[in-house]
Amino acid sequence: MNVPGDLRYSKDHEWVRSAADNRVVVGITDYAQDALGDVVFVDLPDVGSTVTVGDSIGEIESTKSVSDVYSPLTGTVVEVNGELLDAPERVNTDPYGDGWMFTLEVAGADALDALMDAAAYTELTEG
């Protein structure tokens, strides 16, 4: 299982990468995409939506099941990865790159402090 050390993680298996200007990029982890199986559809949040940590803001449909995507932080959706609508399999092939889902504008960089680091996330998934 791939757990990059430069990301933060939620208990719901989303990863978060810091970007510029209080923005973060969000996707699902390698662990989550593996558990889902082949992803065939992704429902993304609307740009401009205000979301709260823990909100269900989208869905991922695979050949096995349908799973909710939860917001790992509170903020405003400022961008979505529209390429996933035509190529949802990118969530499987490159979950930390081309498989990113959306960008949030958050209140401040300290918002990431509530999330797990790579070591804690690894412990969660192996425990």
Query: Residue 2 domain-assigned?
Result: no
CATH number at 20 reads 2.40.50.100
Query: Residue 51 domain-assigned?
Result: yes
Query: Residue 86 domain-assigned?
Result: yes
pTM attached to this predicted model: 0.93
Q: Of the candidates 114, 112, 102, which has an alpha carbon nearest to the alpha carbon of residue 50?
A: 102
The C-alpha atoms of residue 33 and residue 94 are separated, in whole angstroms, by: 10
The C-alpha atoms of residue 20 and residue 35 are separated, in whole angstroms, by: 31
Query: Residue 117 domain-assigned?
Result: no
Q: What is the DSSP string of 17-31?
A: EE-STTEEEEEE-HH
Q: Do 95 and 27 contact (CB within 8 A), yes or no?
A: yes
Q: Residue 66 is inside which H or E element, if any?
A: strand 66-70
Q: Per the structure, how many domains does the chain have?
A: 1
Query: Residue 121 domain-assigned?
Result: no
Q: What tens-digit pLDDT sequence spans the chain (127 residues)?
A: 899 999 999 999 999 999 888 899 999 999 999 999 999 999 999 999 999 999 999 999 999 899 999 999 999 999 999 999 999 999 999 999 999 999 999 987 678 889 999 999 999 999 7
Query: Residue 115 domain-assigned?
Result: no
Range of the domain at 69: 8-110
Query: Residue 67 domain-assigned?
Result: yes
Query: Residue 120 domain-assigned?
Result: no
